Structure 1
Amino acid sequence: MSTNRSKRPSLALRAHTTTLVIVAGALILSAAMGIRQTFGLFIGPFSFDRGLPVTQIAFAIALHNLVWGFAQPFAGAAADRYGSAPVVAFGATTFAAGLALSAVAPSGAWLVIGMGLLVGVGVSCTTFGVVLPAVGRIATPQQRSIAMGLVSAGGSAGQVLMVPLVQGIRLHAGIATSLFALAFVMLLFAPLGIVLDRRARTQAQPRATTPTPLPADRPTRPQETPAAPLREVLAQATRHRGYRLLTLGFFTCGFQLAFIATHLPEYLTLCHMPLGLGATALALIGLFNMAGSWACGWLGGRFRQQHVLGWLYLLRSATIGVFFLLPKSTVSVVIFAAVMGLTWLGTVPLTSGLVARVFGVRHLGSLFGVCFLSHQVGSFLGAWLGGLVFDLTGSYSLLWAATIAAGLLAALLHFPIDDRAVDTREPRASEPAAA
């Protein structure tokens, strides 16, 4: 009886701390992801008001995705080693500096430095590769998928709020004022990184006398500590066929999402849709993504995550194909935005959760960061090629077809992934090193 009573404060403290980390993570993601989802609204104004080619504007937006991808493994490794607080603070400040520079950029080159380079570094320190590993470390293995889904869902609130806010400020006060407002918002959320590190007091847990049984089809992990050095785990991951397939498939997610988020408003303008419908569509994507991310996290806790990912890519490709082929109307745009929102960022908790299931959480920030690099290469190509193809052909048709084909290929890559846990422990002196 006394043992049960002693466990209650520890469990209550852990639940309270987990809730705080989830809320803080969702708020940081809301600011960072919500702001970057507004960039598509600036293509037309930058082109008409400042005389910049669409290709150059699209390149600046695309470059931040590529920089984000290359910087993500380093940001994740820094958070693994030093904690999330300094990484988030540095990222938020750099993010804000990039937005401020974009607001006053006198030429396309300065826009590339601000919205491309600085924003890319800032996003890498304030989004999934830093936030989700912090959540994954504090949540129990049984709750990890749903906790990551909740953070991703909460993070979508930023897109719902930021897109109409920026659209309104831009129409009434101009490009520069709206970008300065976004920079200020980013700085407000910088201190929340401190909350992500509130895990030290929850690490020591009572040792159970009897292990909790798991379903037979759920692979279990060996004891996760002490973990092998990062370089050895990275080498192990690169030899893992499932990790390679997951990384290749994640490319498609970035390609599809970056193309749609960057070029959907301009595409709808070309289709003679009502002014402002593009901003409404992006906001709806964010709104429905809240439900979609939570649902994907919930499904990932009950079914094999690679199978959920495969079906998600199939649904997304079918939705894009139907939208592209059918006549455009306000109703079809709203339906497209809603369904895309349900499949938008649900890949992130599923992908990070799958990495954690196979390799553990000790080096999750670094391993997910490497996987996420593939996502961001796809994001760069989706955003940049959309502008390039449009300038060359006057149409987005080739890119719409490419997003459909890429989604079908991604589904084929995910279904055969092996999610059995591998041993990432550092071998003891009496044990032979793993082959």
Structure 2
Amino acid sequence: MTAAETPGRTGPNIPLVIGCGCLIALISFGPRSAMGLFFQPMTEARDWSRELFALSIALQNLLWGIGQPIAGMMSDRFGTWKTMTLGTVLYATGLILMIDAQSAVALHVSAGVLVGLGIAFSSFSLVLAAFGRAVTPAQRSLAFGIGTASGSLGQFLFAPLGGALIANIGWQDTLIVFTGLVALIPFLAIALRGKSELPKESNPAHEQKLTSAMAEAFGTRGFILLTFGFFVCGFHVAFITVHLPPYIADLGLDPSWGATAIALIGLCNVAGSLISGYIGGRYSKPLLLSAIYLSRAIAIFAFIMLPVSPFSVLVFAGVMGLLWLSTVPPTTGLVAVMFGPRYMATLFGFVFLSHQIGAFLGVWLGGKLYDETGSYDGIWWLGIVLGIFAAIVHWPIEEKPVARLAQQAAE
């Protein structure tokens, strides 16, 4: 009997799984989303350039993406608890080493490589895969929305928490506090203990190897289109997170409006994720994704074409917040629908890798084009084009199981 099971039950204690999973998503996403708060105090204390610190955060995003498929494979093979325990060790070690990082290499290894891999092995992606195993297919989309919203809540809560801690106890002790919170993850992950297995009533002849699952996925047009689309999500989210505050300041508004916009995005993201999860469980997930990406393109177009004011900043942040990670529930839901929950952590890991490549390029290109042109206009227009592209590629995705699963269901 696993820790997620209780006497008299034959399956997981779903409220316990959902509750602990949501706390894990909140904690793992929180410190990562607050990394920007350490930007100024660490660069001033170490006399580093802003480019050096930014490169570490870009590496963090990239390593998070690279590590996600590996973390998914480990979770599917050895179980969620073991994977998240490893992730906690990496995450906590990276945060602690940041305190004494005196060189560029030390910062890149700690804040970039270790924290990035730590997030990959303890993030909401593994939580969503555990939810996919625990709940029924009809409940998955809403469960994915709840899990995603919890990560968003971590972003919203850790920003003011980190700011207050840095102001009162300093950035070094704040990293220690964050490390202590991350250390709670293995204890919460006990409720998620388990791995993907065939249902007891399944025919052993239907057992699929991981290599076959990967070949099947990459041979499925819908999976490829989904991967291309999620690249755009990462591009949008990372660019706006890093470059919206300086863009607002460049236009003459008080810099505090940039911080307010990011906080509002995080708050509205909670509602957007829940709404998306609800809609995705009742209507077409591909069409929902097309609508989300098209809405992003329209929102960006309106924002850069209309006069910028505090009101327009708040409206844009609110709209983008609703659309922010609302892509995650239908994206993960489509992976589960097409291929089942057996190797969901691994397959979504590859989709998420595309997201993080987009994130890396969004951050890097934003800075590069600004340095070369003195303006963010080019990158905003690229974001509009990519939003339209994503809306188009999701449209033809078929929301149905692959032929293998359809045949098994008919037997």
Give the TM-score, by structure 1 length.
Answer: 0.85
Q: Distance in 2 between matches of 1:328 and 1:41?
A: 25
1:279 aligns with 2:259: yes
1:347-389, CA deviations, whole angstroms, 9 ceiling, x for partnerless residues?
1111111011011110111111111111111111112222333
Please list the CA deviations of residues 122-158 of structure 1 after superposition, one character each: whole Å capped at 9, or x if unmatched.
1111113311110001110111111111111122211
**Matched positions, count:** 404
Q: Which residue of 1 aligns with 2:61?
A: 65
2:334 is aligned with 1:334: no
Distance 1:250 1:180, change over 3 A: same
In 2, Cα distance between equivalents of 1:386 and 1:360: 37
Q: Distance in 2 between matches of 1:225 and 1:298?
A: 35
Q: Shift of the alpha carbon at 1:33?
A: 1.6
Spell out the pairing of 1:263-342 with structure 2 (5 A cutoff). 263-342=243-322
Cα gap change, 1:238/1:299 in structure 2, threshold over 3 Å: closer, same or farther? same
| Letter of the structure 1 residue corresponding to residue 236 of structure 2 | Q
Task: State the Cα distance separating 1:337 from its structure 2 match.
Answer: 1.7
| Alpha-carbon distance between aligned partners in 2 of 1:47 and 1:88, rounded to the nearest angstrom | 31
**Are residues 29 and 249 of structure 1, via their aligned partners in 2, closer, same or farther at CA, if it must alter by over 3 Å?**
same
Alignment of 1:205-244 (within 5 A): 226-244=206-224
Q: Residues 265 and 99 (structure 1 numbering): CA distance in 2 closer, same or farther, change over 3 Å?
A: farther
Once the 2 structures are TM-superposed, how far is the Cα of residue 196 of structure 1 from its aligned partner?
Answer: 1.1
Q: Does 1:182 align with 2:178?
A: yes
Confirm whether residue 399 of structure 1 aligns to residue 395 of structure 2.
Answer: no
Confirm or deny that 1:254 pairs with 2:234: yes
**Conserved 8 A contact 1:17-1:199:** no
Contact 1:44–1:266 (Cα < 8 Å) also in 2:
no
Cα gap change, 1:109/1:388 in structure 2, threshold over 3 Å: closer, same or farther? Answer: farther
Q: Which whole-Å CA distance do the structure 2 matches of 1:229 and 1:143 have between them?
A: 26
Relative to 1, partners in 2 of residues 1:223 and 1:408: Cα closer, same or farther, differing over 3 Å? farther
AA aligned opposite 1:299: I
1:116-127 correspondence to structure 2 within 5 Å: 116-127=112-123
Distance, in Å, in 2 between the alignment partners of 1:297 and 1:255 is 22
Change (3 A) 1:401 1:173: farther
How far residue 275 of structure 1 moved from its aligned partner, in angstroms, is 4.3
Distance 2:172 2:110 in 1: 13
Once the two structures are TM-superposed, the CA of residue 179 in structure 1 deviates from its matched residue by 2.8
Q: Specify the alignment match of 2:189 in structure 1.
A: 193
Gaps in structure 1 of 5+ consecutive residues: 1-8, 206-221
Letter in 2 for 1:291: A
Task: Quote the residue 2:396 is aligned against.
Answer: 416
8 A contact 1:164–1:280 mirrored in 2: no
What is the percent sequence identity of the aligned residues? 42
Moved more, 370-379 or 15-24: 15-24
CA distance in 2, matches of 1:224, 1:58: 50
CA distance in structure 1 between the aligned counterparts of 2:24 and 2:387, rounded to whole angstroms: 29
Q: How big is the shift at 1:16? A: 7.3
Q: Does 1:349 align with 2:329?
A: yes
Q: Is the 8 A contact 1:92 1:187 kept in 2?
A: yes
Per-residue deviation, residues 215-271 of structure 1 (Å, max 9, x unmatched): xxxxxxx98983311111111111111111111111000111111122223333333
Among 136, 140, 143, the alignment partner of 2:139 is 143
Which whole-Å CA distance do the structure 2 matches of 1:384 and 1:117 have between them? Answer: 17
Deviation digits for residues 187-217 of structure 1, max 9, x if unmatched?
12332111112699xx669xxxxxxxxxxxx
1:164 positional shift: 1.1
Report the secondary structure of 2:121's partner residue: helix
1:420 partner amino acid? K
Deviates further, 414-423 or 132-141:
414-423
| 3-state SS of paired residue (1:399) | helix
**Aligned CA-pair RMSD:** 2.9
Kindly indicate whether the alpha-carbon contact (under 8 Å) linking 2:81 and 2:194 is maintained by their aligned counterparts in 1: no
Of the three residues 342, 349, 352, the one matched with 1:369 is 349
Residues 1:81 and 2:77 are matched in the alignment: yes
Counterpart CA distance in 1 for 2:172 and 2:116 is: 19
SS at match of 1:156: helix
Residue 208 of structure 1 is matched in structure 2 by none
Q: Deviations over 1:300-322 (max 9, x none)?
A: 11111111001001111211222
Give CA-to-partner distance per residue, 1:269-290, whole Å, 9 cap, x none. 3334334333322222121111
1:225, 1:142 → 2: CA distance? Answer: 26
Displacement, 1:39? 2.4
CA offsets 1:15-73 (integer angstroms, 9 cap, x no match):
97111111111111111222222223344444555443333322211111111111111
The CA distance in 2 between the partners of 1:185 and 1:291, in whole Å, is: 25
Distance 1:156 1:230 in 2: 31
Q: Secondary structure at the match of 1:143?
A: helix
Alignment check: 8 A CA contact 1:316 1:407 kept:
yes
